[in-house]
Amino acid sequence: MSTADTSPWVLEADGIQLSFGARPLLTDIYLRVQTGQIVALLGRNGCGKSTLLQTIFGARTVPDASVRVNGRRVVPAYPVPGLMSYLPQVPLLPGHLPAITAAGLLGVDVEEALADFPELREQVRSGQRLNELSGGTLRLLQVLLLVARSSRFLLLDEPFSGIMPLHVERLADLLRAAKRRTGLLITDHRYAEVLALADVVYLLRNGRLELLRNPESDLRDRGYLAS
């Protein structure tokens, strides 16, 4: 799938049903992400957000799951070149690697990827290994490397986790810029930051995915935001 044209691409996922023992986790799912959009996936801990991202990417096999791009089934999605990048909650790359080597494995120009974060760029230039970085710095580096990749869709699970507030602001600006060329699906418990970015907001609760028409008021009514 070439990334050369500029027409919108559409990612859809449905038919995803998953239970853990007798407990239904995902039961009524339909999700849509279009290039040029930032889509937020919100919900409480343990509601299945990470599982849903894994299923869309293809890291988790769910029988009868349908994941489509422009109407064409892509299950699993991850082997398709240039289609999808995914940030899991666990470390993305082996910790013993120097950061600059990790960038090379992802096919990313590290100087370009870190251009807006000169302090992080200096750490990478110094040859530091991934496991020598603080948790927040490592998280930021991983997000920046994935944003710099040429992918139609970018799935980010907790991209703001542990990141300093100053860096969160700069990262948010980069994500806004990235949506000009990709579609982003973001889940994070920092609701204020995510809502400020999102064009579309879904809420996952009781296994069902609900498209919120008035996100802030809907979340407040359901007890997800303080009144």
> pTM for the full model?
0.93
13: left (phi over 0), alpha (psi -120 to 50) or beta: beta
What is the phi/psi pair of residue 208, to 5°?
Answer: -110, 145
For 33-82, write each residue's pLDDT tens digit: 999 999 999 999 999 999 999 999 999 988 888 999 999 999 999 999 99
Q: Taking Cα atoms as reference points, which of 83, 99, 79 lies closest to residue 91?
A: 99
What is each CA distance from 174 to 3, 63, 129, 146, in whole angstroms?
19, 36, 24, 12
Taking the C-alpha atoms of residue 15 and residue 68, their distance in angstroms, rounded to an integer, is: 11
Q: What's the 3-state SS for 125-186?
A: HCCCEHHHCCHHHHHHHHHHHHHHCCCCEEEEECCCCCCCHHHHHHHHHHHHHHCCCCEEEE
The first and second tokens of residue 183, run together, are: 């579609």
Angle at 150 between CA 162 and CA 109, to 5 degrees: 70
Contact 28, 207 (CB under 8 A): yes
For 79-105, write each residue's pLDDT tens digit: 999 999 999 999 888 999 999 998 999
pLDDT tier for residue 132 given thresholds of 50, 70 and 90: very high
Superfamily of domain 10-92+150-221: P-loop containing nucleotide triphosphate hydrolases (3.40.50.300)
